Structure 1
């Protein structure tokens, strides 16, 4: 079953799986609310969904489904190729991550994987993405990570200094190091770079 607000995407996926020979698309929905009722009724083995859904986000939706159907295969079918989304899909326990621009065979392969191994994760370029994540994790010191997290939470530099019990000048030094290591010029760029490199899960509070 597929959940996506775009009708053309749902029609396209139906055409893709129709040619697979071993996959049946037994339902499609345009919103999370519509999908919840349909999933309980048709009981699919795999659900594909976007990160952005009407009424909720894809990861919240996936957690809800897994809570009630622990063996359900979950495939994040994303509009963009993004390391941060891949890392989150992995950390959230999804079955697969592929983009809507992927070849049909890649999408079909992800669905097959999710059907037989819903608790394991696969994604195109997974090994390379994990290598980038390991490299990023070694990029910042523990203190720089603390400063970055507080920046994400919208804390001012004086506020960060108070939280960490250091001088504001010291905080400015940490921030300058962050900008240099992330190759950015301001807070917004630093937060986005950190998300893209898997150093932060989100910048919602920024």
Structure 2
């Protein structure tokens, strides 16, 4: 292994451990870090991180959790601090914790979306209220979802590396219940909705549109419409390619509806 590759692997591992530890998450380290590492190496994604939090005490704990502090380019409690850093340096990740307590961090998300094309934002939301949901963040994870067996943190990180977006189950359910909230996605990102994941599960099992329609209590024409939109979203023209494309962007959680 070359010195450069070794440094990249150490940096990615350290950053990932920091994100995991700051949330007090216990997970399978080999699977958790290995999959993310391979994804980073294959895409050239940078493991460096900018931490945003509500207090210096919180940020200090997050920084100490990093095995290699050099992976962190800054710890900020205000949007202006973070934007000043981002004007000079563009990390791979901007991690925002406890978003509900500091809505001014939306300015950071907006700045990243408009000015930092290689930087991705991952936001952890404590308060499940539409008024506290960030706009245009790449990954949004409800803190209550971090203990789920499908590992939303890994799902969110894999989406970022793959230039896709992610919403954890509680966030997605909250958005689905609202008729007024508009989940504005960053440019050139792919977000797989609950219906998309249901269709992918049906594709995996080889079900016809009629069979999926019967099991989801929808009409075959509706399934056909949803399916056409999914193929277009993934930039493919058949089901097999859709499954391959979904796996390439880090998607691995198929809904068990069938």
Identify the structure with bigger relative contact order (alpha carbons < 8 Å, sequence gap 6+).
1
TM range (shorter): 0.3 to 0.5
TM-score, normalised to structure 2, is 0.39
TM-score, normalised to structure 1, is 0.46
Larger radius of gyration: 1
